[in-house]
Amino acid sequence: MASEGELVRMQNGRWARFQRCAVYDAERTPEDRSAEDGVAVLVAVELGDSYQQLLDAAETSLRGYRQQGIPVQLLLDWNGDGKLSLRFEFPQSVAVH
C-alpha cells in the first residue's frame, strides 16, 4: 500500500510520486460540487526530467552508502526549491566519540 508523497520507480524506469486526487461526478458543475461529493484516489504522477535526474543521482549515492553498511534516508523538499538532503540513521546504541 502506497502513501501520499511516496516516491516509486515505475516499470518504465521513470520516477513518480504518489499524490491524492479528488474525483467528482462529471455531470455536476464545479459550482454544485462539495468536498463530500468527491472520492479521493491515490495516483502515481510521473515527475519532470529535472527531478528524474536528481533522483537517479541520489539513488546511486544511497546505494554507495548502503553497500558500506551506513543506514541513510533520502528527503526531498517538495515545497521548497526541490533540494535533496540525506539523513543518516544510526541506532541510538551507537556512541559517537
The dihedrals phi and psi of 89, each to the nearest 5 degrees, come to -115, 95
- Grid cell 515545497 is found at 79
Q: Is the pTM of this model over 0.75?
A: no
Average pLDDT, the chain: 77
pLDDT tens-digit map of 28-72: 766 666 656 678 889 999 989 988 998 898 888 888 888 888 877
Q: Left if phi > 0, otherwise alpha if psi is -120 to 50, otherwise beta: which for 82?
A: left
Domain ranges of the chain: 1-47, 48-97
